[in-house]
Chain A
Amino acid sequence: MEIKKLGEYVWEIPKQGQMRVPAVIYTSSKLLESIKRDKTLLQAQNVACLPGIQKKAYVMPDGHQGYGFPIGGVAAFDRTTGVISPGGVGYDINCGVRLLKTEFFEPDIRSKRRELLDEIFREVPAGVGRKGLIRLNKSILFDVCRRGAEWAVENGYGTKEDLLKTEEYGRMKSANPEFLSQRAIERGAPQLGTLGSGNHFLEIQKVDQIFDPNVSQTFGIHSKNQILVMIHCGSRGLGHQVASDYIRLMEDRYGTKNLPDRELIYAPLHSDLGQQYYQSMSSAVNFAFVNRQMIAHWVRNVFRKVLGSSDGMDQVYDVCHNVAKFENHSIDGERRSLCVHRKGATRSFGPGREEIPEIYRSVGQPVIIPGSMGTASYILVGTSEAERLSFGSTAHGAGRMMSRHEALRRFRGEKIKKEMEDQGIELKATSWRGVAEEAPGAYKNVDEVVNVSHRVGLGRLVARVVPVGVMKG
Chain B
Amino acid sequence: MIDIMQKFKYLQHTADAKFQAFGESIEEAFTNAALAMVSLMWDPEKIETKIEHKLCVTGRDEKQLLFNFLEDILFRLDSLMFLVKTVEKIRLVRENNRFLLEARLVGDVHSEKYETFGEVKAITYNEMEIVKNHSVMVQVVVDM
Residues of A within 8 A of B (CB): 38, 64-67, 71, 91-92, 127-131, 183, 186-187, 189-191, 196-198, 200, 236-237, 240-241, 243-244, 247-248, 252, 261-263, 399-406, 430-431, 433-434, 437, 473
Distance (Å) between the CB of A287 and the closest chain B CB? Answer: 13
- Measured CA separation A447–B79 after assembly (Å): 39
Q: State A401–B14 Cα separation when bound (angstroms).
A: 6
Q: Is the CB of A237 within 8 A of B42?
A: no
Stretch in B48-56, B93-101, B114-122, B132-140 touching the partner: B114-122
A-B CB contact pairs (8 Å), 25 listed: A64-B14, A67-B143, A127-B116, A128-B41, A129-B116, A130-B81, A131-B81, A186-B78, A190-B78, A190-B79, A198-B119, A237-B74, A244-B71, A244-B123, A252-B60, A262-B126, A263-B124, A399-B15, A402-B14, A403-B13, A405-B10, A431-B116, A431-B117, A433-B118, A437-B118
**How far, in whole Å, are A197 and B125 apart by their CA atoms in the complex?**
23
CB of A129 within 8 A of CB of B110, answer yes
On whether the beta carbons of B75 and A186 are closer than 8 Å, the reply is yes
Which residues of chain A have C-beta atoms less than 8 A from B15's C-beta? Answer: 64-66, 71, 399-400
Is there contact, CB below 8 Å, between B123 and A263? no
CB-based nearest B residue for A130? B110
Chain B residue contacts of A263, Cβ below 8 A: 124-126
How far is A66 from B75 in the complex, measured between Cα atoms in Å?
22
Residues of A near B122 (CB, < 8 A) are 91, 240, 243-244
B contact patch SS:
loop
A197 touches which of B10, B71, B118 (Cβ 8 Å): B118
Identity of the chain A residue whose Cβ is nearest the Cβ of B41 in the assembled complex: A128
On whether the beta carbons of A236 and B115 are closer than 8 Å, the reply is: no
Q: How far is the CA of A183 from the CA of B14 in the complex (A)?
A: 29
Q: B26-68 CB contact bits vs A (8 Å, 1 = yes)?
A: 0000000000000011100000000000000000100010000
Residues of A within 8 A of B126 (CB): 67, 261-263
Given pairs A91-B122, A430-B115, A431-B116, 4 additional interface contacts (CB within 8 A): A128-B116, A129-B41, A198-B144, A430-B116
Number of B residues near A (Cβ < 8 Å) is: 33
- Which residues of A sit under 8 angstroms from B130, Cβ to Cβ? none
Tell me whether B117 and A237 are in contact (CB under 8 A).
no
**B17 with A128: CB separation less than 8 A:** no
Chain B: minimal CB distance from A410 (Å): 13
CA distance A252 to B67 in the complex (A): 14
Q: Are B14 and A187 in contact (CB under 8 A)?
A: no
- Please, which residues of chain B bring their CB within 8 A of the CB of A434? 117-118
Question: What's the Cα separation between A129 and B110 when bound, in Å?
Answer: 7
State which of A183, A433, A437 has its C-beta within 8 Å of the C-beta of B75.
A183
- Verify A128–B117 contact, CB threshold 8 A: yes
The 5 A-B residue pairs with the shortest CB-CB distance in the complex, in nearest-first order: A237-B78, A128-B116, A197-B119, A262-B125, A187-B78
Given A91-B121, A404-B144 in contact, is the A186-B12 Cβ separation under 8 Å? no
Which residues from chain A contact B40 at a C-beta distance below 8 Å? 404
A129/B77 in contact, CB under 8 A:
yes
Structural contact, B78 and A236, CB atoms closer than 8 A: yes
